[in-house]
Amino acid sequence: MSAEAIMDAMPIKVNKTTIYRILDRFAEKGEVHFITGKNGKAYYALCDGCSVSHKIHNHIHFECQVCQEVTCQPNTLHIPNLEGFTIQETQFLVIGICNKCKK
Q: For every one of its 103 residues, what pLDDT tens digit does the chain have, with 9 covering 90 and above? A: 888 889 999 999 989 899 999 998 888 887 887 888 888 888 888 776 555 455 566 778 888 999 988 888 888 788 888 999 988 778 888 999 999 999 8
**Residue 44: its pLDDT value, please?**
85
pLDDT of residue 22: 93
pLDDT of residue 57: 65
pLDDT at 23: 92
- Are 68 and 37 in contact by the 8 Å Cβ rule? The answer is yes
Spatial distance between the Cα atoms of 97 and 71, rounded to a whole number of angstroms: 12
Contacts of 93 (CB under 8 A, 6+ apart): 35, 36, 37, 38, 60, 61, 62, 63, 70
3-state secondary structure of 100: helix
| Cα distances (Å, whole numbers) of residue 13 to 7, 16, 18, 43 | 7, 9, 11, 20
